[in-house]
Every structure is written in C-alpha cells, then in structure tokens.
Amino acid sequence: MILMKKGTGRILIPICLFFSLVLTSCSWWQKPLDRTSGFSALLRKTATAIQAADWASALASWEQTQAAWRRIKPYLQIGIDHDYINGLEDHLTLLKGHLIAGEQGDALVLILLIENTWETMGDL
C-alpha cells in the first residue's frame, strides 16, 4: 500500500482528472492540430486544383496534405479508434490514384469523404 501525506490527494486527484480528460478528448487536440498543420486548408487547396483540372497542382497539394497528415497522426492515435485513422489513410491513398488518373468526380468525392471523416473525428 502506498502511503500518502494528508492533503496529497487534493493535488493528485485534479492532476489525474486533467490528464485523463486531455488524453481522451480528441476534439481538444484536433482543432489546434488542424490550425498548425493546415490539414483542412490543404484539402481545400487540393479540391480547388481538382476542380480546375490542374492535376500537377493537385498532386503537389496532395503531397503537402499527406505530409501534414503524417505530422498530426501520432497525436490523434492517443484517443481515436484506429479504424478512423486507417479509413482516412485509405481515402488519402485512393485520392492519389484518382489524381494520377485524372478522375475529377471520384477525386472530389474522396475529398468530401476525407473532410467528413476529419470533421467527425473531433466528435468521438
């Protein structure tokens, strides 16, 4: 049994509660990570290039989006089901294929799926 000094619980319990809330709440992490990484903005930039059928710019934007995703992914893995993470990565991979093939409609659908997955991740 660990013996604590009287009053230690008053400090230890709030600290434990704080860390458990921070580690289990994805929504607290998602918005600051999005602002610093620019993930959503890069997805919009990719969508704009797709709508203009500028496939070289769309692929360059996709590369930047993928790099941003690699930076934020470790932080999200703390509190999100891995199926969401894997699903988003699958959609990013499929998106690259549609960009290479120049398939505008399919690429735009995947952008919408990625954006939806990203938005709903914060609600988990």
Question: How confident is the model over 21-28, as a mean pLDDT?
Answer: 48
pTM: 0.74
Q: Please write the tens of the pLDDT for every residue from 72-107.
A: 988 887 777 888 889 999 999 999 999 999 999 999
Yes or no: say if 121 and 30 are a contact pair by the CB < 8 Å rule.
yes
Yes or no: say if 107 and 98 are a contact pair by the CB < 8 Å rule.
yes
Residue 44 has pLDDT above 60, yes or no: yes
Give the CATH number of domain 27-121.
1.20.120
Residue 13 has pLDDT above 90, yes or no: no
Which residue stretches of 1-124 are H helix? 8-24, 26-37, 39-51, 55-76, 82-101, 104-121
